[in-house]
Amino acid sequence: MAKRRLLIALLAPLALGAAAVSPSDIPSEGSVMSLEQCRQLALANNKELRRSAQQIKVAGYEKDQAFAAYLPSLDFAGGYMYNQKGISVLESDQLLPIKSFNPETKGYEFDFVKNPIDGKPVMVDGKPIPSQVAYLPKEALSYDLHNVFFGAVTLTQPIFMGGKIVAMNKITGYAEQLATAMHDNSAQDVIYAVDAAYWQVVSLKAKQKLAVSYVNLLDTLSHNVSLMVKEGVATKRDQLTVDVKLNSAQIDLTKVDNGLVLSRMALAQVCGLPVHTVFTLADEDAETISTTAPVAKSYDMQQVYASRDDLRALELGVKIYKEKETVARASMMPNLALVGAYSFSNPNMFDGFQKKFNGMFSVGAMLTIPIWHWGSNYN
């Protein structure tokens, strides 16, 4: 098991960076392919492995995205608005009474027009007439807001988000490990499939040799029996018995030939080659096949479980959902962030009404505390 995992680790880069099989990768007719070459071809051309390799990249990008939540974010927002009308504070030109200082009362009093006869203020419509007024034209308090430009640059630094950012970083880290484990498990399945198809071809090729020798043997026997029948030392019953055996052996040979062709097609398919590709396997004509890997007689089950990528993926899935509990809990906790902004507009009202750009800095903190949502966050 450890040797096979080492083999996957060595061959995995081929599957990570491989493109579709090119014509130069297709073995020429009569070329000899070893088991190692078949494994490399299968890992390089397997579409499922290429897809899982892209999933590893996706998980890596999501991990970087989650880490970025620790850092301050800088945003710009701007806009333009056209207004049909301007704004006027006054309905029309206004006349405002003016107070004058009275030394006798040591205070400011309105100065009204007085009747020279009795010295009383002159009344018009029941109101006294001020002797002096300030003229305030409507135009002085009318503002042109037809074209308004505005914008803001905002800097936000999260301080406490209820543990959501930490949990999301752990989730994306586990997700990357999960994608890698699933990729390794898929690579292991591909190697198993290649090995099964490879040795199936080798096995059928040996059976084909045996079937051919058996057919030749029965054919020779049939010829000898026919001579013996002519000489009268054998009966036609013996001849028919041998012919039936020969016919059955020929049928078995045909089955082996067909199975060998189909097995070669299956191996070519697993390797990502056209199914009709003709090539020879290095072990199919070997008299003896050496096995370098010793056969284990006992197993450490903990090591077996630790070596299984599918169980590793399940463990990572459990950890991911544990962190999702933290993310769900964070929706019920306060969120605190520092906020800094520079906002500007044209026109502006910082020094009177001016039709030019001007702005100001703002710094503050934003605290959000969930109070009541009818149990939605809790649920």
What is the pLDDT confidence band of residue 223, given thresholds at 50, 70 and 90?
very high
Task: Provide the pLDDT for residue 135.
Answer: 86
Task: Provide the pLDDT for residue 59.
Answer: 96
For residue 71, is pLDDT > 90? Answer: yes
Q: Give the start-to-end residue ranges of the domains of the chain.
A: 94-136
In the 3-class helix/strand/coil scheme, how is the chain assigned residue by residue? CHHHHHHHHHHHHHHHHCCCCCHHHCCCCCCEECHHHHHHHHHHHCHHHHHHHHHHHHHHHHHHHHHHHHCCEEEEEEEEEECCCCEECCCCCEEEECEEEECCCCEEEECECECCCCCCECEECCEECECCEEEECHHHHEECCCEEEEEEEEEEEEEECCCHHHHHHHHHHHHHHHHHHHHHHHHHHHHHHHHHHHHHHHHHHHHHHHHHHHHHHHHHHHHHHHHHHHHCCCCHHHHHHHHHHHHHHHHHHHHHHHHHHHHHHHHHHHCCCCCCCCCEECCCCCCCCCCCCCCCCCCCHHHHHHHCHHHHHHHHHHHHHHHHHHHHHHCCCCEEEEEEEEEEEECECECECECCCEEEEEEEEEEECCCCCCCCCCC
Q: What is the mean pLDDT of the chain?
A: 87
- Overall average pLDDT of the 84-96 stretch: 86
Comparing 209-218, 229-238, 285-294, 346-355, the range with the smallest average pLDDT is 285-294
Comparing 29-38, 142-151, 164-173, 313-322, the range with the smallest average pLDDT is 29-38
- Identify the top-confidence range among 11-20, 283-292, 364-373: 364-373
For residue 29, is pLDDT > 80? Answer: no
Task: Provide the pLDDT for residue 291.
Answer: 64
For residue 198, is pLDDT > 80? Answer: yes
What is the pLDDT confidence band of residue 104, given thresholds at 50, 70 and 90?
confident
CB 139 within 8 A of CB 148: no
Task: Provide the pLDDT for residue 121.
Answer: 79
For residue 138, is pLDDT > 60? Answer: yes
Question: pLDDT, tens digit, for every residue of 262-319?
Answer: 999 999 999 999 988 888 898 888 777 766 667 777 888 888 888 888 899 999 999 9
Question: pLDDT, tens digit, for every residue of 244-265?
Answer: 999 999 999 999 999 999 999 9
What is the pLDDT confidence band of residue 10, given thresholds at 50, 70 and 90?
very low
Task: Provide the pLDDT for residue 124.
Answer: 80
Question: pLDDT, tens digit, for every residue of 210-222?
Answer: 999 999 999 999 9
Number of other CB atoms surrounding residue 103 within 10 Å: 6
What is the pLDDT confidence band of residue 7, given thresholds at 50, 70 and 90?
very low
Task: Provide the pLDDT for residue 17.
Answer: 43
What is the pLDDT confidence band of residue 15, given thresholds at 50, 70 and 90?
very low
Task: Provide the pLDDT for residue 56.
Answer: 95
